[in-house]
Structure 1
Amino acid sequence: MSRKLLHTLIPAVAIALIPSTTAVQAANPASTYRQLDQLMDVFERVRAEYVDEVTDEKLIEGAINGMLSSLDPHSSFLNMRNFERMRTQTEGEYGGLGLTVSQEDGVVKVIAPTDDTPAARAGIKAGDYITHIDGELIYGLSLDDAVDKMKGLPGTTVKISVVRTGQQKPMELTLKREIISLKPVKHEVKNNIGILRISAFNKQTGEATRQAIAEMEKQAGSKLLGFVVDLRSNPGGLLDQAIEVSDAFLERGEIVSQRGRRKGDVQRYYAREGDDTKGKPIVVLVDEGSASAAEIVAGALQDHRRALVLGQRSFGKGSVQTLIPMTQDTALRLTTARYFTPSGRSVQEEGIEPDIIVPQLSDTDYKERRVIREADLRQHLRNDAVKDNKIIEEDDKENPRFVRTAADLEKAGVSDYQLDYAMKIIGRLGPVQTAEVSR
C-alpha cells in the first residue's frame, strides 16, 4: 500500500488529492427537498432584505460553514485563504508568530506554540486565550481574521493580550514576527542518551526522524543507552508521517487502523521490517498538548511495549480528516474515520494514558493552568467505549512523589522535570535491559 496517504489528523495540513465527484447513492426523501427549498427561501430573503448588502459568496460560505460546524470541531470548509495557508504549513514554512490556535464560542485558544518561535520564546502555553491584538478586542472575530491580524511582514511587531487561567491580570506581550520555518525534528545526545524532539508531523518529519536517529547513533556509537522521544505539545499532522515515525522504532506489527462509517471500511497500516534504533530502550514524553498523529505514535509504541510513555494524559483526538477539493482553490475537510491503536483502543476523548504519570513540576503554574482536551470541545465525536466520563477525569489528589517546587528544581539545575525523569529511567535501564523494554 502506498505511504502517500490522503488524510490528515489536525486542521490546516493535508494533501489535496481526493476528487470531489462522489455522488449521493440514496434518493433524497421529499422532506429533504422541502428543507432545501426553505434554505433557498432564507437565502433569497437575507439577500434582498438584510440591512446591509451582502455578497452571495459570503452567504453561501456561511451556510456551508454552518452545516459543517454542526458535525464536529474538525470538519470545515477551506476557502481560498485557508486553503493556501494549509498548503504552506504542510510544506513546512509560513509567516507569523508560531502558534497553533483554535476557536470556541468566539474565543481564540492556543493549542500549542511551535518550538523556537516568537510565541514560544514569549512563554505562551497551551490553554492560553488571546483576547486582544494591537489593542483591539477580537472576541467574536472569525478565526481567519484573528490569524491574519497576527500575521505580517517579518521584523514588524504585534501586541497581544494573553489570558491564562489562575492569573488575575492578562499578559501584555509585544512580539516580533518571523518567517516560521517548521523544522519538525531536533535532536541531541546528552549523557549518552539520544533526545529526539518532534514538534509537528509535516512532510519532512519521517525522513528527518530517521536521519536524526542515524546521526545520534554515529555520534555516541556503542555508548548510546537509549532514546527519549519528546512529543509534548505536538498538535499532530499528516497520518503517513505518524506511520513513518512509528515504523522507525518498530520491527514489525500493526501501527494503526482507521475505521470509517461502514462496517467493512477498515484500513490497517503495518511496520516494515527493521528497527532503526536496534531495540534500544525508549521513553516517549506526552502531555495534554500531544494530539492526533502524536497520539498514534505514542499509542503504537505503548501497545507493542516498545516504549514507556511518560508525562500527562494526551489530548484525545482520535479522528481522521480527509481533504476533498471542491474547486481549484477551495476544499472540504471532512471527518471520515476514527483511528485505533494496535490493541484496538480508540483514543477519542480518552487520549493516551501514560505508563508513568509525571507532572511538569518545572512549570510554575502547571496546577492552575486550565487544560483543554478533545472532550472539552463542543460537538466532539463521542467514544462509545467511554461509558462514564469519570474515567477520563483528572485525579486531583496530591501525589507524594511530586512535592518539589519549580524553585527547588531550578536550584538543582533541572529546567525540564519530565525530560530529566525520562533520562534517569533510560540511564537506569541501560543497554542490558533492551530486550525487556522492546519485547
Structure 2
Amino acid sequence: MRKIFFILVLLLAGIGTRAQSVMIHHIGVGQGDATLIIFSSRAKAKAISILIDAGNSKSKGDAVFKVCSTYLIKHIDFVIVSHLHSDHIGGMERVLEKMEDNGWTVDYIIDRAAGEIGNIEDCYSAADSAAIIQNDPSPVIPSSKVVSSYASFVEGAVGTLQVKQWINLDTSQNLVFDTTGFGDISFVSLTGNRNVSGSPNRIAPGSGYNENDNSYSFLLKMGQFKYFTGGDIGGGAPYADLETPLVNYFRGQNDANFHFCGYKATHHGSAHSTNPTFVFYTKPTLTVTPSALRSFSGTRLPGKETLERIKARNDILGNNSYFFYTYLKSELPKINGSNIAVYSTGTVTAYNDVVLKVDRNTFNNNHTFTATQARRDKTNLTLGLWSSPVTITCDKAH
C-alpha cells in the first residue's frame, strides 16, 4: 500500500473580486492551543471558517465556543484537532456539544481518531480519480478517556450536527471545495501521522513514540501573505524531525522570497521545535507563542533558545522580529524582540488572545497587517478590552 500523505487543499480559487481578508484568532487557553481562522470576501456573503484545537478542558471549550459564536452564525466549515494530546483536544468535545445545543452545523471534522474516510467522491477535483480510498495504517490512537469520550461524541454527532465527513488525513487524495469568489487563497495540510507532504515514507520516530509526531500542520497563503501552524511537530530528538523535510517541501514551491509573515510557534515554543534549518528558511516575521510557562520533564515552554533562534535569524537579515504570547505577566508584552527572556520565565497572571488581521490588497501593496490582543482572565476566562492594533511590516525581500 502506498504511504503517501493525504494533502487537504482548501483551494479558494476564483476570478472574481480580490477584496479578501483573513482573521487568525489565537485564543488564550493557558497550556494549550486554540485558533479560529476566518476567510472573508466581499463577493461572498458566507465566510469560510476553520477551528484548530480547543484547549484542555470544558471551561476552555466554553471560551472557544464563545469566540466562534462572536464571529460566526451557527456554522463552521472545518473543525480540526491537530493531534490527540489533552491540551489540544480536551475542550473540543465541549465546543461540539455547545454547537449541537445551539443548532450549529459543521461541514468537516478532521482528526486522526476518525474512522474510515467514507464516500467523498462529491468533493473530488476534476484531476482526482474515483478510486476507493484507504487509510495507511496509522500509529496507535491514545486510549485516554479524553480521546475516547471525544471520539464517541463525534460518532454520534455525525448527523445530529449535520457533519458531512469525519476524516483522518492520511491518504493520497486532494479535496477541493467550491469557494469561488475568494481569489488566490489556500490552506494546505502538510503533515499528519508522521507523514510529510512530498516525502515517500512515514518519517522515523524520535527516541520514543510520542503523539506530537502525528500532528497535522498547515500552510495558509493569501496572495503573498504566508502563515504556518503546526500543532506540536518537532524538529529533532527526542521527537521525530518533521521540520527538515518540511523545508524540502517549501524549497519545492519555487518561491525565491519564501518566508512566514505569521507563525504559530510549534509545540508551544519548545526548544525541540523550530530547529535551525526551519528558522533559516522560513524566517518568521511575527511569532505567536501559545503557552502558559509550563515545564514538562525539564522542558520549559516556551524555550528561550527557540525565540532567540527566530530573532537571531532576522537580525542577520536586518528584519524585524515580533513576538506575541497567549499568556500575560503583569502587563501586555511589548511588541518587539527584546522581551524574550522575560516571557520565557516567571508566573502567568492572565491569558491573552492574539488576533492577526490581513487585508489582501493592503498586504500586497505594502506588506503590512495588524495584530491586536486582549487580556483573558485565568479564572473565569472572560475577555477584557482589546489593545490598539499594532501594524506589522513583513519584509518583501526575504
Normalising by structure 1, what TM-score? 0.32
- Normalized per residue, the structure richer in helix is 1
TM-score scaled by length of structure 2: 0.34
Greater C-alpha Rg: 1
Larger relative strand fraction: 2
